[in-house]
Structures are given as C-alpha cells and as structure tokens.
Amino acid sequence: MTDFRKSVIYQIYPKSFYDSNGDGWGDLKGVTEKLDYIQKLGVDYIWMTPFYVSPQNDNGYDVEDYYRIDPRYGTMDDFEELSREAQKRGIKLMLDMVFNHTSSRHQWFQKALEGDLKYKNFYIFKKGQEKGVPPTNWESKFGGSAWEYVESFDEYYLHLFDVTQPDLNWENEEVRKEIQKIVRFWMEKGVKGFRFDVVNLISKGEYLDDHEGDGRRFYTDGPNIHKYLKELNETTFGTDAEIITVGEMSSTSLESCYRYAGEDEHELSMVFSFHHLKVDFMGNEKWVMVPFDFKKLKKILFDWQTHMAQHRAWNAVFWCNHDQPRVVSRFGNVEKYWKKSAKMLAAVIHCLRGTPYIYQGEELGMTNADFTDISQYKDVESLNHYQILQDKGLSEDNAKRIVQIHSRDNSRTPMQWNSGGNGGFTQGSPWIGCNKNCSWINAESQVEDEDSIFTFYKKLIELRKQYDIIAMGDFEPKAQEHPAVFAYKRYYEGKQLYVINNFYGNEVCWDAGEELEGYVCLLGNYDRQEIKDREVTLKPYETMILYKE
C-alpha cells in the first residue's frame, strides 16, 4: 500500500511545462523529456491537469472526450511512454478527473440538445420561473447566471462554471456508471492517482433562489455527496491499495472533510481546501485589492491541521496550483527578499501534517506574470471579471491591477527552464507570454546551486523521507497571537520538531516559552549554528526547522 503521508506530489500544467515540438504548446513528450529534473527534485507523484480532447474554453477543464488525448498534447503512445519512463524513475502518475461537468461539445450533451431523452437526463435541465426568468438566481463561478436558455426545449441547463461547461446529473445512475468506466479505463493504463475536480459540487440540493448569496449553499457538499464518493471508491480506485486520491473541495466545510478524507470512511485519501487562500479576499469576493490577513491565514491553517487530525482525516497541503497566483508574489517579497521568502513559505507548508503539493516553478520561486496589457491574458475568468469590474464603475487601470494580482494566468506562464528565448519553454511562439524574469529565475541556474530555492525544496522532501515525525507526528500550533511569527511543533515517539517562521521583512523577537537548547537546526534559510535561549530573534523572512530526539 502506498503511504501517501510520506509522499510529495508535483503538479504539472502540461500546456505550460515544456514544448517538445515547437508549436508553442507544452505536451506529453515534453513532460517525458523533463523527468530527470523531476526525479532530481525527489517527488513521488506527478499530477497532470487535463490533456483530454477539449475546446480549451477553460484550459482543458471542459472535457469533450475522457478517453482520448488532445492531439495538441500528443497521442496515447506518448502517454504510455511517459508512464513507462516515470515508472523507471520511481514516479507515479496522478490524473485530473473533471466529473462535475463536461464540455458542451461532449457527445452526451450534443445528443441531449438533439432531444435524446437518455442523454438529456445526463444533464440538469429545468423550466424557468416565468418567461425570461431562469429557474433560480444562482450565479456562475465565472460570473453571470448559472443557467443558459435552450429555445428548442423552452428550458435552461445548469452550468456552475462557463456556459460551455454543462453540469452532469449525478442523480442519474447511468451517469455514475459512465464515470466509473472512465476511471477504470485509466487505472488499466497504470495510473496510480486521481485528483477529482470540484468534486464536492456533484450532488445538488434544492433548486431554490438564494436570497442570501449566489446559490453555492444549495449545491456545495450536497445531500448525496458521501454516497456518490463511497460508490465511486468501491467500484473503481478503492480496489487498488496503491492508488491515492485527492478531492478539490470548493467552498467546503471542515466537518464535511472529516468524512471525505476520514481514515475509515472509504471516500478519498485527502482533500484540497482553499480557505487559507482567501485571506487576501474581501469576504468571498476575490476581485479586490486588499493586503492579506496574516492572523486569519494562521488561524485557518491551524484549525484545519488540528481538527482534521482529531478526526483522523488527511489534508493536502499547498500554496500554489494552476488556479492560484504565485505564492512568493502573494505572501512573500519578490523585490527585496525573493529567495528568503520563497524558502520560508516552502518550509511552512512542507512540515505541516499533510501531503505537500508543489506546483511547477514553485520550486524555483517563479513569480506572478505582471502582464502590462489586458490582451496578454487568456483566462476566461480573468477576462470576464476585467469587464465586470469596469461595469461596476472601476477605472480600467484599477480593474487591470486587480487582474494582475488575482488572475489564474499568473500560474500559467511557461515554466522557466533557462535564460534563453521564452525561458527555454519552446522554440516557437508560446501560447501565453513568458515572464520577463526568466533570464534570472530559471531551472538551469538553480539545479546545481546549493543555496537555491530548488535545492531547499529538495532538502525539504528528503527530510520528509528521513524523519517520520514530519509525516506522522502530532501537531501543536504556536505563536497564535504573534503578528509576524508562524510557528508550530510536531511530536512523534518522544521526538520533537519545531518550525519557526518570520512572515515579514523586519527582524522580530519571539519568546518560545521554553528553552530551545538541545534542538538541532535541520534546515533554515540563514546560517545558524544553534539556538540556545527561549527568546529568538528572527531575521527578515527567516525559517528554521529545529529537531530534538
């Protein structure tokens, strides 16, 4: 059985990872060519975002065919070669499964639009409340109504995301059986991990107007969600003890996640939750300019750590993915303490209780795109909100600044391999612009450098393999009220691990409340020989991982 507690997972957004044929679009052969780099980092799994046939209205999360590889990424032969080569290096593959919705170009939806009742029942069609009024006032997560009118039926279909992403009707057993077939198909290809996209939205509750919000309370963590996950587990991945799973949980609650990722629940291995990445929002509103709330960040992470542990449930721990801005731009300091803050943020996550995920380029300290013109953005959500913000009365400049901070394209710029043209990503013209700082932030300059961010990540992964306390230990929050220090302790079989971090660019003092003599510094981002006193003075963005037998 795979012990996912000791594993580290590397996320690849194939479109932006490495282009092997010069068409400006990353591909599967490109991933195979870079396996030695990934092996050097020391991770156990590669999770790849979707590369199935898709119109790419939502960067592949609008799937047209779950069984075929989009020719832009390569062929099934390329996938099988990648699988073989990864296996040789002790790396397993985790695939992204998008089952809340399909593309409107999927044959099921095309048949539904033709009036085939079997396939119409694969989706959620409803009558309007009255002429011109959708069934409910729910809003799409990408802006606008979550309902689209189909004149030939005089009905609306539900799309919680883009209008080209109709939601599947999981209440229909035939839908669930089709989904089980898809998972088994990829299991037979040797896939050993699955990440389920927005999986806690698949069970809808009542279809009512939401007079207090945007509708999410009616479709999040719905009435049959645990039944559906248990059924999927039992009929597919649960039959192979080597397979690990993670559910992306949109706007979920801690209480729901005790069950999704509970040790004895037989649903999923672990969950992604996003509350800690909303601390620079205003309420639930993402498209604003506000500083991040450090105390709130600490409280959320600590609550998830302690409560999930109490309920024997497991977290996926992460800062970055293809939907989030780059963490060093978000919570670090790119201008003055780029390297120090990137290392500190890495240590915070990698020593928590949970399975760490590294998003491509995070291990190099890649930063936000900082595009200067709106035409450089490709993301449907960003472009929609650029318009919505102006419709609300914001100036073009302010709308653009907010998009610069929050756009998902910040994480989708090409991987920076070297200081050459397009950062070594492609010989052609990249599908999205490269970050100008690829001339000095790139893999080639870091892989052999003992002081690099890459080497720091590599050492964090080695520590997880070497010290069981990191994977298995109990968790205790520290410095809960301190305005700048993020600290916690881990305990396991009489051993102790102390992780102490300064989240800001000024020196700070912190009283640990106990003598620190006898602890050895396993890893830090400043030269420190030993810590003796209970009071520690932390340098800007300092991190230290202390250990005592």
Task: Supply 304's token pair.
Answer: 């998830």
Q: How many residues does the chain have?
A: 549
DSSP string, 4-35: TTS--EEEE-GGGT--SSSSSS--HHHHHHTH
Quote the CA–CA distance of 249 and 100 in Å, as a whole number.
12
Run of H or E residues at 355:
strand 355-359
Question: 282-312 in b/e burial notation, b at 16+ Cβ within 10 A?
Answer: eeeeebeeeeeebeebbbbbbebbbebbebe
Q: Which residue has the tokens 């003598």?
A: 515
Q: Are 415 and 365 in contact (CB under 8 A)?
A: no
Closest CA to 331 of 408, 279, 286, 285: 279
Q: Which residue has the tokens 């293809």?
A: 322
Quote the CA–CA distance of 184 and 190 in Å, as a whole number.
10
Please identify which of the residues 44, 58, 197, 362 carries the catalytic annotation.
Answer: 197
Closest CA to 202 of 235, 175, 178: 175
3 is catalytic: no
Q: Are 101 and 168 in contact (CB under 8 A)?
A: yes
Residue 435 DSSP class? P
Quote the CA–CA distance of 444 and 418 in Å, as a whole number.
5
Closest CA to 366 of 426, 318, 438: 438
248 is catalytic: yes
Quote the CA–CA distance of 307 and 173 in Å, as a whole number.
34
Amino acid at 174: E
Task: Supply 240's token pair.
Answer: 């192979």
SS3 232: helix
Task: Supply 100's token pair.
Answer: 């809340």
Quote the CA–CA distance of 202 and 227 in Å, as a whole number.
11
Provide φ and ψ at 182, rounded to 5°.
Answer: -65, -45
Residue 157 DSSP class? E
Amino acid at 277: L
Gyration radius of the chain's alpha carbons: 23
Q: Are 27 and 72 in contact (CB under 8 A)?
A: yes
Please identify which of the residues 44, 248, 323, 379 carries the catalytic annotation.
Answer: 248
Quote the CA–CA distance of 60 and 307 in Å, as a whole number.
34
Quote the CA–CA distance of 545 and 523 in Å, as a whole number.
5
Active site residues: 197, 248
